[in-house]
Amino acid sequence: MENMDSLPRDAQSILELAARSMFDLFANASEGMMLVDRAARVVWINDQYKRFLPALGFEREEDFVGHPVSRVVQNTQMHQVLETGKPILIDLLTNKAGTFVVSRIPLRDAAGQVIGALGIVLFDHPETTLQPLIEKFSLLQRDLDDARRELATQRLRQSGQRQSKYTFASFIGLSAAAVEVKRQARRAAQSSSPVLLLGETGTGKELLAHAIHAASARAAGPFISVNIAAVPDTLLEAEFFGFAPGAFTGADRKGRDGKFRLAHGGTLFLDEIGDMPLALQSKLLRALQEGEIEPLGSNKLIPIDIRVIAATSRDLTRLVRDGGFREDLFYRLHVLPIRVPPLRERRADIAALLEALGEDVALRSGMPPPELSSDALALLEAQPWRGNIRELRNVLEQAAMRSDSQRIDVQQLETVLRESGVQHIEPASTPVAPVQALPQTATGQAATGDSALLRPLAEQVAELERRAIQAALHANQGNKAATAKMLGMARATLYARLESA
C-alpha cells in the first residue's frame, strides 16, 4: 500500500477511517479476534474470543494473554505470517476448542515493517455454515483422488508395486470425533512406530491405514495388506514369511515371497490382528523385534525394513487377559493406538458420507446419484448403525437400486431398514405433538397427579436441559466437544451450563 504520509490529508483521513471501520466490522461480526506482537505473544483478544478460553484449557484471560501464541493455541500459523509478512486469508484451524475457519493478517508500521499479526475467527461451526462449500470441495477432492489413483495404477502396472488407495481427504467428516481421529492419524504418519487402529467393523480402519501410509515418509514404498481373519491358519505362516523352493508338497518350485518381503521399504497392514493364532504371534514378534524373517523351508535370514499398521475390531486387552493374545506382542503393537469412532458417535457426518457414498454408487451403477428427502436423511441419522459406514452404504445402495426415481423417500428407506434387520429408531426431528389444555377439576385446577408440572416453566426447562447434558456426557464418555456437537450447542455454552450446574 502507498505510504499514508505521502497522501493528501483528506485521502489519509479516509484511509484511517476505513482501517478503523474494517477493524470494528471484524471485531463485531467475527466469532473472535486476537492480536500478537512481533515476538508472537498474544497482546489482546476481544470478548467473542474469550468464550473459547475454557475449551482451550484456560480459566482466566491473564493465563492466555501475554503468553506465546504457540503455547496457548494449538496448530497456530501466526509465526508464518510474522516471518513471511504474507496473509493467510482463508484456512481451517483445528485444536482443542474445535475446527474454525480463520484469517491471519500481518500488521505493519509506517515504514512497512511487520510489527504483529491479527487473527480472525470467521466461522466456528464450518461443518454447518460452510456445508455447501465443503460438499463441493469434497467432490473436487474425490475427483483429484480418482485421478491420482488412476496415475498410481498406471505406475503400478509398470512397476508391479502396490501402493495405498486413499488419503486423509478420503476419511470424510468434520465432526469433533472425525477431526480428532484424523489429527491423531496425521501425527502417527510422521512417526515410524507401529500403529494400532481400534474400532468396530466398518468404521474405516483400513482407509486410515492407507492414508497414514500415503502421508508418511514411506509413501513411495509399497503398501501391503493382509486380512488375517480371511486366511486359513495353516497358510498364514507361508502368507507372512513366504517359502523356499520345494519347502512342502505342492509348493511352487520357484518359491514365493511373503507379505513381509513384499512390504520391504513400505508399510505392512495387518487387518484383524486379534484373530492371529498364538503359534504365529511369537514369530511375528520376533520378525518385528529382529527386523528379519526366515521363509518356510529355508535356514536363511532375510533382513526386512517395514512399518507395521495393525487393526482389530476385538478387545485386545481382554484377549491378553484371557490368554488369547501375547502380552509382549500387544505392547509391541500398542505404541500409537488410535480409536476409530463408530458412526453413532459422529452422526453429524452422515449427510456428507451419504453424499460421497451416493456418488460412488452412481459411478458403479451408471445411474444418477440418489437424492434423499429431509425426512429420509433424518431417519438415517437416527439409526444405531451396528455395521457403521459399511452398513450405511449397503442401505443406501439397496434403496437406490429399488427406487424408480432418483429421489429416495422415508417410506422406501423404512422398508429397506426393516428387511435388513436394522433396529429402527424414530428420527430426532419427529414433530412434537401440540400441547393440549389439561381438563379442569371442579376447583379450576389442572386435573393431573404430577405436581412437578405445576412448577415455573423456566425451572422445568432448566432441569430438562441438565438431564439432557448429563445423558449426552455419559453417551460420549465425558467428551465435552462431542457432547456439545450432539446437543447442537456451542462449546462455550456447554461449559457455562456445566459451571452453573
Q: Which of 397, 420, 443 is the last residue of a domain?
A: 420
**Digit-coded pLDDT (tens) for 438-479:** 444 444 444 444 555 556 666 666 677 777 887 787 777 677
Cβ atoms of 180 and 97 within 8 Å: the answer is no
* Residue 348 falls inside a structural domain: yes
Give yes or no for a contact between 434 and 409, defined as CB atoms under 8 angstroms apart: no
- Bridge partners (DSSP) of residue 227 are 271
Q: What CATH number is associated with residue 326?
A: 3.40.50.300
Q: Verify that 311 and 379 share a domain, yes or no.
A: no
- pTM, whole model, 2 decimals? 0.57
Same structural domain, 90 and 14: yes
- pLDDT by residue (tens digit) across 322-337? 999 999 999 999 999 9
Measured between alpha carbons, how far is 373 from 167 in angstroms, rounded to an integer? 30
Domain hosting residue 406, numbered range: 344-420
Name residue, grid cell 494449538: 74
Give residue 338's pLDDT band: very low, low, confident or very high (50, 70, 90).
very high
Residues 457 and 411 in one domain: no
The CA-atom distances, in angstroms, between 494 and each of 50, 187, 486 are 14, 29, 11
429 falls within a domain: no
Secondary structure letter of residue 472 according to DSSP: H
Question: Do 77 and 198 lie in a common domain?
Answer: no
In percent, the amount of the chain with pLDDT more than 70 equals: 74
176 and 64 in a common domain: no
pLDDT recorded at residue 366: 78
SS3 438: coil
- How many domains are contained in the chain? 4
For residues 98 and 63, state if they share a domain. yes
Shared-domain flag, residues 313 and 189: yes
Same domain for 309 and 357 = no
Low-confidence winner among 154-168, 185-199, 263-277 (lowest mean pLDDT): 154-168
| 204-248 pLDDT tens trace | 999 999 999 988 989 889 999 999 988 888 788 888 888 776 555
Pairing type for strands 307-312 and 195-198 reads parallel
